[in-house]
């Protein structure tokens, strides 16, 4: 199929290429007849202007980039939908990238978004701010961080106050009689991983609960590490009677292993997840969660990015979190957990099972 060019449009409309170009770019310096003729010719030929070529002649592309850390994570899938819809309502299309919790993949997508000349980028950053994250700042590309931040970089952000929800979760489990709570942490290379782990550490200390470092397993915010974490925690000589997973994919991995080992969630062991996904409430038993609004986060991120694109300097926003109690954690502890015979986590082959990170020291 032969590509239709602006020369074809101009020839059909009976005008010069320069006039056709002015009409298609929205210039008022054209006659009503020329505008009508060019519009009719473009429609007849189904002509589509080359967006990248237009961008080279303009300071705006009417597009933004969104880079999430793991598109399989339901939280980030919901975030992507909210950002895309909010941007579209403001006249922008969204180019989506998936870092897959890997810094090198993050850098590749950011480099691509920069080369596509997007007007701004919303990103859930990984790492220490080096590489392509640093390039965004140095190039003064409008940027907003979402869900995560990077120490030392002064970038407008929309994040969650994890402290309140985690404190409420630990208090709830303590009231049910749990003294040994296993924590499946996110990676300490991310601000959310560090903040949630620190909040958990403070919460168990304030309640006088066990601070045994073996009760913490460091995962990577993906389901396989949730499975590996439960497997490791239940192998302890004194396993926990309750579990708190620092995000929804790790909670999914935890649920898979608990079922595989024949443990009844909410009766044999309590479980709470950080992040609420719609179908968590439909499980049997329904899963207790620490909830925060991904819709608010996405809408605010787009609003802030448009403000930065317009030359503004918006203040960062911190959204609240809260515990939603459901059946997975509501029963009182029945005594020391009796763990069935060891079963290797089916979803985590030995060669792929993430090793637990360094254990925190007792205070």
Interval 41-49 mean pLDDT: 83
pLDDT at 130: 78
Q: How confident is the model at residue 59 (pLDDT cuts 50, 70, 90)?
A: low
Regarding predicted confidence, which is higher, 325 or 61? 325
Domains defined for the chain, CATH in brackets = 6-49 (1.10.260.40), 62-155 (3.40.50.2300), 162-292+323-329 (3.40.50.2300)
Place of tokens 């480099």: 111
What value does the mean pLDDT take over residues 203-228? 96
- Specify the pLDDT at position 360: 38
When pLDDT is averaged across residues 150-171 and rounded to a whole number, the result is: 96
Q: Convert the pLDDT of each residue in 255-280 to its tens digit.
A: 999 999 999 999 999 999 999 988 99
Q: Is the pLDDT of residue 346 over 50?
A: no
pLDDT band at 54 (very low <50, low <70, confident <90, very high): low
Q: b/e map of 202-234 (b: 16 or more CB within 10 Å)?
A: ebbeebebbebebbbbbbbbbbbbbbbbbbbbb
Query: Measured over all CA atoms, what is the biggest interatomic distance in the chain, rounded to whole angstroms?
Result: 87
Q: What is the pLDDT of residue 340?
A: 52
> What pLDDT, on a 0 to 100 scale, did the predictor assign at position 331?
79
pLDDT of residue 342: 52
Q: How far apart are the first and last CA of the chain?
A: 71
pLDDT confidence of residue 53: 56
The answer to whether residue 109 scores a pLDDT higher than 50 is yes
The predicted model scores a pTM of: 0.77
| DSSP letters for 295-351 | HHHHHHHHHHHHHHHTT--PPPEEE--EEE--TTTTSPP-SS--PPSP---TTS-TT
With a pLDDT cut of 70, the percent of the chain lying above it is 87
pLDDT at 344 over 60: no
Q: Name the average pLDDT for the chain.
A: 88
Please say if the pLDDT value at position 207 is more than 70.
Answer: yes
């Amino acid at each position: 199929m032969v590509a239709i060019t602006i020369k074809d449009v101009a020839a059909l409309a009976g005008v010069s290429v320069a006039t056709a170009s002015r009409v298609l770019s929205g210039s008022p310096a054209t006659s009503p007849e020329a505008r009508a003729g060019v519009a009719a010719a473009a429609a007849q030929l189904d002509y589509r202007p080359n967006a990248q070529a237009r961008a080279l002649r303009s300071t705006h592309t009417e597009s933004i980039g969104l880079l999430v850390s793991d598109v399989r994570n339901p939280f980030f899938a919901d975030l992507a939908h909210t950002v895309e819809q909010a941007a579209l309502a403001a006249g922008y299309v969204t180019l989506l990238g998936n870092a897959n919790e890997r810094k090198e993949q993050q850098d590749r997508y950011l480099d691509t978004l920069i080369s596509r000349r997007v007007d701004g980028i919303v990103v859930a950053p990984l790492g220490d701010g080096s590489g392509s994250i640093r390039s965004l700042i140095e190039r003064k590309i409008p940027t907003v961080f979402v869900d995560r931040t990077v120490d030392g970089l002064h970038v407008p952000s929309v994040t969650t106050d994890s402290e309140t929800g985690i404190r409420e979760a630990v208090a709830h489990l303590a009231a049910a009689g749990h003294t040994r709570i296993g924590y499946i942490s996110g990676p300490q290379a991310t601000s959310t991983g560090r903040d949630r782990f620190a909040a958990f550490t403070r919460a168990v200390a304030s309640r006088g609960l066990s601070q045994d470092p073996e009760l913490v397993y460091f995962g990577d915010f993906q389901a396989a590490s949730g499975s590996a974490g439960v497997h490791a925690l239940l192998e302890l000589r004194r396993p926990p009677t309750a579990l708190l997973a620092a995000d929804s994919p790790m909670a999914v991995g935890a649920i898979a292993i608990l079922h595989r080992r024949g443990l009844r969630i909410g009766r044999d062991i309590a479980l709470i997840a950080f992040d609420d996904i719609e179908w968590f409430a439909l499980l049997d038993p329904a899963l207790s969660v620490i909830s925060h609004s991904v819709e608010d986060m996405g809408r605010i991120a787009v609003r802030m990015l448009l403000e930065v694109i317009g030359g503004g300097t918006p203040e960062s926003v911190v959204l609240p979190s809260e515990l939603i109690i459901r059946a997975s954690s509501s029963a009182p502890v029945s005594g020391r957990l009796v763990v069935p015979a060891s079963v290797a986590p089916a979803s985590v082959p030995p060669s792929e099972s993430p090793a637990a990170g360094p254990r925190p020291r007792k205070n």
